[in-house]
Amino acid sequence: MKKIDKQKLKENSKLTLKNIILNHNYLFSLILLLIVGSIASPNFLSPANLIQLLRASTIIGIIALGMSLVIISGNIDLSVGSILGLTAAISVLVYNATGSIFLTLLFTLAFGLVLGLFNGFFVGKTHIAGFIVTLATLAAFRSLTVQLGQGGPLLINNDFYYEGLRKIGYGTFLSIPYIVWIFIFATVIVWMVMTKTKFGRYVYAIGSNEKAAKLSGIKVDLMKVLIYGFAGLLTGLAAFLYISRFGSVDTATAGRSFELDAIAAVAIGGASMAGGKGFIQGSFFGAIILYSINAILNAFGVPAFITDLIKGILILGAVLIQKSLNRNKEN
Amino acid sequence: MKVEFKNIYKNFGAVQALDDVSFSVPEAQILGLLGENGAGKSTLMNILGGVLKPSSGSIMINGEANAFLSTVKAKELGISFIHQELNLVNDLKVYENLFLNDEITKYGFLNKKEMIERSKAVFKKMKVEIDPEAFVRDLDTSRKQLIEIAKAVLFDSKLIIFDEPTTALTNKEIKILFDIMREFRNNQISCIYISHKMPELFEICDSYVVLRDGKFVDKGLFKDIDEQKATELLVGKKLANQEIEYDESHIGDIVYEVKDLTITPFFEDVSFHLKKGEVLVITGLFGDGRGELAEALFADRKIERGEVILNGQKLKMNSIISVMKSGISMVPRNRKERSIISDLSISDNLSMAYFTSKHKKLFVKRNEENERFEKNQKITQIKAESPLKKITTLSGGNQQKVIFSRWFELNSDVYILDNPTQGIDVGAKSEVYHLIHELSLQGKSVIVFSSEYTEIKKIANRVIVMYRGTINKELVHEQINEVDIMYYATGSNLKEKN
In percent, the amount of chain B with pLDDT more than 90 equals 40
Q: Indicate the residue of B38, B344, B353 with minimum beta-carbon distance to A217.
A: B353
Mean pLDDT of B49-62: 89
Mean pLDDT of B108-113: 88
At position A68, the amino acid (one-letter code) is S
Confidence of residue B195 (pLDDT cuts 50, 70, 90): confident
Q: Flag if A202 and B355 touch (Cβ within 8 Å).
A: yes
Does A223 contact B at CB distance below 8 Å?
no
Confidence of residue B397 (pLDDT cuts 50, 70, 90): confident
Q: Is the pLDDT of residue B376 over 80?
A: yes
Q: Is the pLDDT of residue A4 over 50?
A: no
Per-residue pLDDT at A252? 87
Q: Is the pLDDT of residue B334 over 70?
A: yes
Q: To probe the interface with B, which of A194, A201, A206, A214 has the most B CB atoms within 10 Å? A: A201
Q: Flag if A215 and B332 touch (Cβ within 8 Å).
A: yes
Per-residue pLDDT at A327? 64
Q: Determine the residue of chain B that is closest to A328 in CA distance.
A: B13
Q: Is the pLDDT of residue B197 over 80?
A: no
pLDDT in tens, B299-324: 999 999 999 999 999 999 999 999 99
Per-residue pLDDT at B308? 95
Per-residue pLDDT at B168? 67
Least Cα distance to A124 among A74, A88, A53, A174 occurs for A74
Per-residue pLDDT at B304? 92
Q: How many CB atoms lie within 10 A of CB A45?
A: 12
Per-residue pLDDT at A22? 64
Q: Is the pLDDT of residue A79 over 50?
A: yes
Does B196 contact A at CB distance below 8 Å?
no
Per-residue pLDDT at A15? 58
Mean pLDDT of A323-330: 62
Contacts of A73 in chain B (CB under 8 A): none
Cα–Cα dist A236/A108, whole Å = 5
Cα–Cα dist B263/B305, whole Å = 7
Confidence of residue A293 (pLDDT cuts 50, 70, 90): confident
Contacts of A216 in chain B (CB under 8 A): 341, 352-353, 355-356, 406
Name the DSSP class of B84: S
Does A214 contact B at CB distance below 8 Å?
yes
Does A209 contact B at CB distance below 8 Å?
yes
Q: Flag if A205 and B16 touch (Cβ within 8 Å).
A: no
Confidence of residue A29 (pLDDT cuts 50, 70, 90): confident
Per-residue pLDDT at A274? 86
Q: How far is A154 from chain B (nearest CA, A)?
A: 41
Q: Is the pLDDT of residue B228 over 80?
A: no
Contacts of B425 in chain A (CB under 8 A): none
Question: Is B384 in contact with B397 (CB distance < 8 Å)?
Answer: no
Phi, psi of A250 (to 5 degrees): -85, 110
Per-residue pLDDT at A167? 83
Q: Is the pLDDT of residue B82 over 90?
A: no
- Per-residue three-class SS string for B286-324: CCCCHHHHHHHHCCCCCCCEEEEEECCEECCCCCHHHHH
Rounded to 5°, angle at Cα B264 from B259 and B269 = 20
At position A153, the amino acid (one-letter code) is P
Q: Is the pLDDT of residue B498 over 50?
A: no
Q: How far is A81 from chain B (nearest CA, A)?
A: 30
Confidence of residue B240 (pLDDT cuts 50, 70, 90): very low
Question: Is B142 in contact with B173 (CB distance < 8 Å)?
Answer: yes
Q: How far is A244 from chain B (nearest CA, A)?
A: 33
pLDDT in tens, A260-272: 999 999 988 888 8
Least Cα distance to B410 among B297, B313, B331, B338 occurs for B331
Per-residue pLDDT at B360? 85
**In this structure, what CATH number is given to the domain that contains residue A68?**
1.10.3470
Does A320 contact B at CB distance below 8 Å?
no
Of A301-305, A314-318, B130-134, B196-200, the least confident: B196-200
- ipTM for the assembly: 0.82
Q: How many Cα neighbours within 13 Å face the side chain of A46?
A: 8
Q: Is the pLDDT of residue A284 over 90?
A: yes
pLDDT in tens, A187-228: 999 999 999 999 999 999 999 999 999 999 999 999 999 999
Q: Indicate the residue of B19, B321, B341 with minimum beta-carbon distance to A212.
A: B341
Cα–Cα dist B96/B76, whole Å = 20
Q: Flag if B15 and A3 touch (Cβ within 8 Å).
A: yes
Per-residue pLDDT at B264? 85
CB-neighbour burial class of residue B378 (10 A; exposed 0-12, middle 13-18, buried 19+): exposed
pTM above 0.90, yes or no: no
Mean pLDDT of B143-151: 85
Per-residue pLDDT at B446? 95
Q: Is the pLDDT of residue B237 over 60?
A: no
Confidence of residue A8 (pLDDT cuts 50, 70, 90): very low
Q: Flag if B337 and A277 touch (Cβ within 8 Å).
A: no
Mean pLDDT of A174-182: 91
Per-residue pLDDT at B353? 92
Question: Is B273 in contact with B257 (CB distance < 8 Å)?
Answer: yes
| Mean confidence (pLDDT) of chain A | 87
Residue A69: inside a domain: yes
Residue A197: inside a domain: yes
CA dihedral (B32, B33, B36, B41) positive or negative: negative
Q: Indicate the residue of A197, A209, A218 with minimum beta-carbon distance to B364.
A: A197
Q: How many Cα neighbours within 13 Å face the side chain of B5?
A: 25
Q: Flag if A1 and B16 touch (Cβ within 8 Å).
A: yes
Phi, psi of B481 (to 5 degrees): -145, 165
Q: Indicate the residue of A1, A4, A9 with minimum beta-carbon distance to B38.
A: A1
Q: How many Cα neighbours within 13 Å face the side chain of B443?
A: 4
Question: Is B259 in contact with B271 (CB distance < 8 Å)?
Answer: yes
Per-residue pLDDT at A17? 66
Q: Flag if B213 and A3 touch (Cβ within 8 Å).
A: yes
Least Cα distance to B342 among A211, A309, A6, A95 occurs for A211
Domain ranges, residue A302: 61-330
Q: Flag if A198 and B39 touch (Cβ within 8 Å).
A: no
| Mean confidence (pLDDT) of chain B | 86
Q: Is the pLDDT of residue A5 over 50?
A: no
Contacts of A277 in chain B (CB under 8 A): 343
Phi, psi of B260 (to 5 degrees): 50, 40
Helix H or strand E encompassing B272 = strand B267-275
Q: Is the pLDDT of residue B325 over 90?
A: yes
Cα–Cα dist B465/A190, whole Å = 52
Residue A47: inside a domain: no
Per-residue pLDDT at A2? 39
CB-neighbour burial class of residue B85 (10 A; exposed 0-12, middle 13-18, buried 19+): exposed
| Pairs across A and B, CB distance < 8 A | 109
Mean pLDDT of B26-31: 91
Per-residue pLDDT at A7? 45
Mean pLDDT of B39-60: 89
Q: Is the pLDDT of residue A312 over 50?
A: yes
Residue A28: inside a domain: no
Question: Is B39 in contact with B212 (CB distance < 8 Å)?
Answer: yes
Phi, psi of B362 (to 5 degrees): -70, -45
Rounded to 5°, angle at Cα A159 from A154 and A162 = 90
Contacts of A205 in chain B (CB under 8 A): 341, 344, 348, 352
Mean pLDDT of A232-255: 92
Q: Indicate the residue of B342, B364, B395 with minimum beta-carbon distance to A208.
A: B342
Domain count, chain A: 1
Mean pLDDT of B413-431: 88
CATH 3.40.50.300 boundaries in chain B: 3-235, 254-497
Contacts of B39 in chain A (CB under 8 A): 1
Q: Please indicate whether residue B47 or residue A304 has the higher confidence score (pLDDT).
A: B47
Residue A230: inside a domain: yes
Q: Flag if B39 and A8 touch (Cβ within 8 Å).
A: no
Question: Is B269 in contact with B450 (CB distance < 8 Å)?
Answer: no
Q: Is the pLDDT of residue A156 over 50?
A: yes
Confidence of residue A326 (pLDDT cuts 50, 70, 90): low
| CATH class of the domain defined by B254-497 | alpha beta
| CATH class of the domain defined by B3-235 | alpha beta
Confidence of residue B443 (pLDDT cuts 50, 70, 90): very high
